[in-house]
Amino acid sequence: MIPKSHPRYKSLILREKIKNAYKEGYLADSGMIAHGRGEAFDYLIGEKTTPTSKNAIKTSVAMLLLAKNPVLSVNGNSTALAAKEIVDLANETNSKIEINLFYRTKKRVEIISKIYENLGYNNILGNDDKNLKYIDNIDSPRATASEEGIYSADLVLVSLEDGDRAEVLSDNGKKIIAIDLNPLSRTAKIADITIVDNIVRTIPLMIEYTKKLKSKDNKDLKRIIDDFSNENNIKKSLEHINLDKYN
Ligand code: ATP
């Protein structure tokens, strides 16, 4: 048991969740390493959502609300940290949820499907091997997608993902929202909107913004998107990692 008074309590709880996901068999060992990279960047941004990321989150919600077929792509890490919140966001924004795993095994897919089922979400996509298609005929596990989900999606939210996947999706004309604590990652650079923040803080904020923006006209939502520059967003996120503040 981690005592609540521990100065790194929140961070240690997330570590526990990741470790448990590995023990339960749905997170690959390299998923733990990816978590460690994220932890380091979270430390550097101060473990708080920056105003810059809040703006990226708000813009992402505007984009989700305007999309025709938005899909939230999930893997072992995002499921371990935020499965319930992902279901809530999907319901609020009328998005679909699809499993996409770098190290895909039948067992991992089954466990992850079950986690979402236990949360009352029965329409998870990407769990039927026979019906997966290859985006643009790219013969790579990174290009697999379900027909009604990512294959035909106009917008995909990826979190804690690697750059190859983002590249395939982007080359195929899909808009990409990425949740990635590393503003220097390939995914961060490829995405249309990069949210440089921890998924555990991002998704609840996205739900809050959805409630606020849902009643807005499409014109107002479009204006939010038009006013956003991802280049600027990444630049400001990098500026926030200012090591001088630790002196
Ligand atoms: P790329 O190929 O895009 O350059 P990468 O090789 O770093 O990225 P992975 O090792 O798969 O890709 O790592 C996944 C990414 O997820 C990392 O950039 C890491 O910073 C980020 N990450 C890890 N944990 C979290 C978290 N809790 N919230 C948001 N992002 C996270």
CATH code at 204? 3.40.50.12640
d(CA 198, CA 41): 9
Give the angle 197-201-206 at the CA atoms, nearest 5°.
Answer: 95
Atom of ligand 1 nearest to the CA of 40: 20
pTM for the model stands at 0.95
Domain range enclosing 159: 51-246
In a domain, 178, yes or no: yes
How close is the Cα of 220 to the center of ligand 1, in Å? 32
Confidence of residue 73 (pLDDT cuts 50, 70, 90): very high
In a domain, 28, yes or no: no
In a domain, 233, yes or no: yes
Q: 76-93 vs 9-24: helix axis angle to the nearest 10? A: 100
How close is the Cα of 214 to the center of ligand 1, in Å? 30
In a domain, 6, yes or no: no
- Which residues contact ligand 1 via a Cβ below 6 A? 34-35, 37-38, 41, 81, 160, 162-163, 179-182, 185-187, 198-199
Task: Taking residues 58-74, report their average pLDDT.
Answer: 98
d(CA 220, CA 206): 17
Residue 139 has pLDDT above 80, yes or no: no
Task: Taking residues 42-70, report their average pLDDT.
Answer: 97
What is the predicted pLDDT for the residue at 93? 97
In a domain, 40, yes or no: no
**For the chain, what is the mean pLDDT?**
94
Nearest-CA residue for atom 18 of ligand 1: 182
d(CA 168, CA 30): 21
- What the block records as the tokens of 145 is 């997608």
Task: Taking residues 141-157, report their average pLDDT.
Answer: 92
The dihedral sign for the CA sequence 137, 143, 147, 149: negative
- What the block records as the tokens of 196 is 């440089």
Asked whether the beta carbons of 171 and 136 are under 8 A apart, the reply is yes
Residue 245 has pLDDT above 70, yes or no: no
How close is the Cα of 185 to the center of ligand 1, in Å? 7
Confidence of residue 202 (pLDDT cuts 50, 70, 90): very high
Confidence of residue 6 (pLDDT cuts 50, 70, 90): confident
Alpha helices by DSSP H, the chain: 9-24, 29-45, 51-66, 76-93, 106-118, 163-171, 186-190, 199-213, 218-226, 230-240
In a domain, 84, yes or no: yes
In a domain, 20, yes or no: no
In a domain, 137, yes or no: yes
> In one letter, which amino acid is 235?
K
Task: Taking residues 192-212, report their average pLDDT.
Answer: 98
d(CA 188, CA 198): 13
Residue 244 has pLDDT above 80, yes or no: no
Please give the DSSP secondary-structure letter assigned to residue 224: H
Please count the structural domains in the chain.
1
Residue 138 has pLDDT above 90, yes or no: no
Task: Taking residues 109-123, report their average pLDDT.
Answer: 97
How much of the chain, in percent, has pLDDT values that exceed 90?
A: 83
